[in-house]
Amino acid sequence: MTRTAFVIDRSLPPGLIANTAAILAMSLGRARPELVGPDVLDGDGLRHPGITTVVLPILAADAEGLRDLRARAERQEPAGLYLVDVTETAQRAKTYQDYTADIADIRRDGLRYLGLGLHGPAALVRSLTGHLPLMR
């Protein structure tokens, strides 16, 4: 059994929280396409594109908590954890080319994480995120 969780900086304004969640969802969907269900038809035969087949809780942390969680999660990647992050550098960039150029000049300790996406064995994801509150 697998589990997914998004953890986002609680100090962000609502629009950036939504944008960060959208970025995490797109990246997760690209890496794990099996998490997106097939298209469905409604009672009138109208097609609705497939949506996520898993629950995507959005949890809250502060900047330091995100940095710590990312370090702990990174060590769990060999155990089957998929980790995706959104940094302030990504959020500020106007293009993907700008993002790749900008982040290449920043060392790990200089990155500010706005959000993390974790997917993997349920017990592992729960052990990393079980203490975090839901985003409200």
Report pLDDT digits (tens) over 76-85: 999 999 999 9
CATH of domain 2-129: 3.40.1490.10
Spatial neighbors of 62 by CB under 8 A, at least 6 apart, are 9, 10, 11
Mean pLDDT of 47-62: 97
Q: Is the pTM above the cut of 0.85?
A: yes
Q: Is 80 left (phi over 0), alpha (psi -120 to 50) or beta?
A: left
Report pLDDT digits (tens) over 61-115: 999 999 999 999 999 999 999 999 999 999 999 999 999 999 999 999 999 999 9
Domain boundaries, the chain: 2-129
